[in-house]
């Protein structure tokens, strides 16, 4: 079954698990789903379970702020771990879908792991130089968004309610950009290259976090409106 699993099957499977929402409507979600299913194939052959992939993804993400804390060019390595953790985050669902091993425990473990990863990524932004208060605000808004979604689903809403601008791919992209910028700026200065002397890694991390906070606020409002429209029927 897994050897003949096509891209269309992957997108259709994701849609079934998310209330019929078409992942093709978002270039980020579409790419995310396809990448997850490509990476799932070797893990399925190796016999890795969905829960094992979930836990491994969190463990990989735990290393991200620790590596970023070293400063200098280390955020570039942190970037690699951000991406690996993100792939594992999507792979667990792909494994469950393609092997028919989805479980009620998995439905609890996966969102819990996602929230842990979200907070670790936001912590990384703070370590890279974003103000603590801004990181706390972003964390609270992110958790509020996911809390609204979870409570709405408990009240009978099917799927995620809406694909906002602040979903898992966006969170990974923002942290990746911040880590890459911090490492590149440091390396450039070591080489004597300074295009914008007044811009450093911390300033860029702050700018990315501000952008993330705006996306999170817009996403929260978007989701609240979508939930209201669905649950008032």
What pLDDT, on the 0 to 100 scale, is given for residue 89? Answer: 87
Q: How far apart are CA 116 and CA 125, in angstroms?
A: 15
What pLDDT, on the 0 to 100 scale, is given for residue 17? Answer: 66
Residue that wins the pLDDT comparison between 198 and 42: 42
What pLDDT, on the 0 to 100 scale, is given for residue 19? Answer: 66
Q: What is the per-residue pLDDT across 158-212, written as a single tens digit (0 to 9) for each?
A: 888 888 999 998 999 999 999 999 999 999 989 888 766 778 889 999 999 999 9
The answer to whether residues 81 and 63 touch, using CB atoms and an 8 Å cutoff, is yes
What pLDDT, on the 0 to 100 scale, is given for residue 58? Answer: 97
What pLDDT, on the 0 to 100 scale, is given for residue 213? Answer: 98
Instruction: pLDDT band for 1, please (50, 70, 90 cuts).
Output: very low
CATH number of the domain enclosing 41: 1.20.120.1760
130 backbone φψ class: left, alpha, beta (φ>0; ψ -120 to 50): beta
125 pLDDT above the threshold of 90: yes
Angle at 65 between CA 60 and CA 68, to 5 degrees: 115
Q: How many domains does the chain have?
A: 1
- pTM recorded for the entire structure: 0.90
Which range marks the domain in which residue 63 is found? 2-231
Q: What is the per-residue pLDDT across 89-113, written as a single tens digit (0 to 9) for each?
A: 889 888 988 888 888 998 899 999 9
What pLDDT, on the 0 to 100 scale, is given for residue 2? Answer: 47
């Amino acid at each position: 079954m897994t050897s003949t699993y096509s891209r269309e099957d992957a997108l259709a499977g994701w849609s079934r698990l998310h209330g019929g929402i078409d992942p093709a409507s978002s270039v980020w979600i579409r790419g995310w789903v396809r990448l997850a299913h490509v990476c799932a194939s070797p893990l399925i052959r190796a016999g890795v379970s969905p829960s094992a992939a979930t836990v491994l993804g969190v463990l990989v993400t735990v290393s991200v702020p620790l590596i970023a804390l070293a400063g200098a060019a280390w955020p570039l390595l942190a970037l690699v771990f951000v991406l690996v953790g993100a792939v594992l985050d999507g792979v667990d669902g792909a494994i469950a879908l393609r092997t028919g091993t989805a479980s009620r425990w998995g439905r609890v473990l996966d969102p819990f792991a996602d929230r842990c990863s979200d907070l670790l990524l936001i912590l990384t932004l703070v370590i890279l130089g974003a103000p603590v208060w801004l990181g706390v605000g972003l964390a609270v808004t992110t958790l509020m968004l996911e809390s609204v979604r979870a409570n709405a689903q408990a009240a009978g809403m099917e799927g995620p309610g809406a694909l906002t601008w602040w979903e898992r791919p966006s969170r990974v992209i923002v942290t990746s950009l911040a880590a890459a910028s911090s490492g590149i700026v440091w390396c450039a200065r070591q080489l004597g290259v300074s295009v914008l002397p007044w811009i450093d890694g911390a300033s860029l991390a702050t700018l990315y976090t501000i952008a993330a906070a705006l996306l999170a606020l817009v996403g929260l409002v978007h989701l609240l409106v979508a939930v209201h429209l669905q649950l008032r029927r």
